[in-house]
Structure 1
Amino acid sequence: MTARQRERPTRTDALQGPAVDLDRYTPAYFTFIANKLARGASKHYLETYGIGIETWRIMVMLAIEGKVTAQRVCQLIGMDKASVSRTFKSMHAQGLVSFSSDDHDGRLRHATFTPRGREMHDSIMKFALNREQAFLSVLAPGEVDVLIDLLRRLHENLPMVDATSDAFMENQRARGLVPPRGPRRRKVTTP
């Protein structure tokens, strides 16, 4: 018996069956790393600046693009629209962003930095880059380049992953191996 086998807890007969090998399951690593990085950064953002990780993510986009809509944030970062709207509202209340209407579509609002928001972004950016440097310190410079290329390619491949997932589930439904699609959840509104 190897040391690794001894470390793993044994399961009772009732729990026996297939299980994901977390040492080899890449989505788990992405989730673990993203959650732990976000939690560590968020702690400092909240304690020092009074903002959360969602606000920082939108600030990064604002610094790059100059102005953004909620739709653009959802498209690029993958945040859900309700979360983006709440974050924009909070950022506006803190005096970090201002809004302007879109010239072509009056329903769209563009967020832009206020001077206070830009100043906060610039201060936080130093901290964020320091964390990134510490995170990547176990890699050689060439490995960082390879990692970034691999991550970019994986990110670009996500639409194919979603299409494959949809096809797999439809096949499973057609074969009666998974329940049919349930009704979409509706927002409950109170009068």
Structure 2
Amino acid sequence: MIVLAEPEIKAELPLPAELLPYLGFVLSKATASLHGWVNAELAGLRLDFKQVGFLALLYLQGPQSQIELGRKLRIDRTTVVGMVDDLEAKGYLERQPNPHDRRAYRLVLTPSGRRAIEQAEKIVLRTQEEFLSPLQPGERETLLALLRRLI
């Protein structure tokens, strides 16, 4: 006799109550949840949450060096190089000689990168709104304000 396995249903288990008093634990779970959700929504653009921040700074602030972007985003050099290589391979940015420092390159968004970040911003904002939907508008603003003060 052949027994067919029932499809696996992935239910979210509640977080252990004993760990809920720990801010780091709760923040890390909330962050992981939001990042997972956003990354799934961004998959069609071949981007992830971290890459969106990277491209967003180039979009909003203009060309910059890898070192500047890494400092602003608090990302180590090795990670920055990997991100730049990946984003360049996808055609979203390019390295150009820095007119003020011949030893360095500045990163510039390509037209494809501009389109991608404009689409990604809409996705991120929509997903963020859905994620925060259990909170009242005033609570959302308070949460963001408090988190900004902490960092």
Question: Shorter-chain TM-score category?
Answer: 0.7 to 0.9
Q: More displaced, 128-137 or 58-67?
A: 58-67
For residues 57-113 of structure 1, what are the alpha-carbon distances to aligned partners after superposition, in whole Å with 9 as ceiling and x for unaligned? 211222221223222222222222111111111111221112223333323322111
Select the residue among 98, 101, 104 that pairs with 1:105: 101
The aligned counterpart of 2:7 is none
- The RMSD of aligned alpha carbons is 2.2
Select the residue among 142, 145, 149 that pairs with 1:149: 145
Q: More displaced, 120-129 or 75-84?
A: 75-84
Q: Which ranges of 4 or more aligned residues in structure 1 deviate by more than 3 Å? A: none
Number of residue pairs the alignment of both structures matches: 137
In 1, Cα distance between equivalents of 2:82 and 2:150: 29
Q: Quote the offset at 1:122 in angstroms.
A: 0.9
Change (3 A) 1:36 1:101: same
In 1, Cα distance between equivalents of 2:112 and 2:25: 38
Structure 2 residue 39 is matched with structure 1 residue 39: no
Q: Quote the offset at 1:131 in angstroms.
A: 0.5
Q: Name the SS of the counterpart of 1:107 in structure 2.
A: strand
Change (3 A) 1:82 1:26: same
The aligned counterpart of 1:124 is 120
Q: Name the SS of the counterpart of 2:134 in structure 1.
A: coil
The code of the aligned residue for 2:34 comes to: L
Note the residue ranges of structure 2 that are not aligned, 5 or more in a row.
1-14
Question: Relative contact order, CA 8 A, sep 6+: which one is greater?
Answer: 2
Q: More displaced, 72-81 or 108-117?
A: 72-81
The aligned counterpart of 1:114 is 110
The aligned counterpart of 1:173 is none
Structure 2 residue 87 is matched with structure 1 residue 87: no
Structure 2 residue 47 is matched with structure 1 residue 51: yes
The code of the aligned residue for 2:60 comes to: I
Structure 2 residue 25 is matched with structure 1 residue 28: yes
In 2, Cα distance between equivalents of 1:148 and 1:54: 19
TM-score, normalisation: structure 2: 0.79
% identical aligned pairs:
23
